[in-house]
Amino acid sequence: MNEPIHELDLGDLSLPDRHAQARAAIDAMAPGDSLMLVGARVPRELLHELLGEAPGRYEWSRLEGGPEGARVALRRRKSEGPRNVTLYLQSDHERLDAIVPEVVRLANEGSFAEARRRFGEFACGLGWHIDVEEQVLFPAFESLTGMTRGPTTVMRVEHVEIRERMQHVTAALAAGDAAATVAGLGALTGALGAHNVKEEQMLYPMTDRALGTPDAQEKLVRKIEAF
């Protein structure tokens, strides 16, 4: 996935002019275009507005969402056809996986400020991904299949381990320790790889199958996006 080129500083979206300018920039996006939304916080109202008015036209990923500010990569999809849970969340896994080798390279080069920034994007994205699985996807899977003590229980336990391993990497990066960073990322990707395969080959397809129709699948994707 290409990095967004243009940055759009959202400023105070409660000002009508600012909101209109932001919307004009977003409405001018062509299929395949990307825009980096920068502001004091994640612009949830604006994203929900896009979801309400043009569902399925845009997709976004949170790169930063802490007290220091927010950055959201917004993309206009190349086609607006229906999506399913498997494709949507698998592509989020792939987007996150692609960041890890960059962090390894930066840490080995001693570029810790940049390594911390990139890992911060990874951690923000994976934190959201895990939260949306636990709070939207797993409950949907459990109510569709009636399986409340099956795969989702295993996935929740693995999420705890994945979060712990992310914290080890954050600590190693904060200490400027390249060897510990690389070892920590190895342990993290080991746990994450096995976890993601189970989700992509079992949990996500089972959810899509239980949903049954493209409409129902697209509806759950939108609920995930709105989280």
Strands (E), the chain: 6-9, 34-39, 58-66, 69-76
| CB 129, min distance to Fe ion, A | 6
DSSP secondary-structure letter at 198? H
| CB 212, min distance to Fe ion, A | 22
Residues that bind Fe ion in the complex, under the rule CB under 5 A: 133, 199
Nearer to Fe ion (CB atom), residue 10 or residue 96? 96
Nearer to Fe ion (CB atom), residue 193 or residue 212? 193
DSSP character string of 112-127: HHHHHHHHHHHHHHHH
CA distances 83 to 51, 59, 79, 189, Å, are: 14, 11, 10, 27
Nearer to Fe ion (CB atom), residue 121 or residue 133? 133
Let me know if 213 is exposed, middle or buried by CB neighbors in 10 A (0-12, 13-18, 19+).
exposed
| CB 76, min distance to Fe ion, A | 24
| CB 125, min distance to Fe ion, A | 11
Nearer to Fe ion (CB atom), residue 52 or residue 190? 190
| CB 134, min distance to Fe ion, A | 8
Nearer to Fe ion (CB atom), residue 114 or residue 161? 161
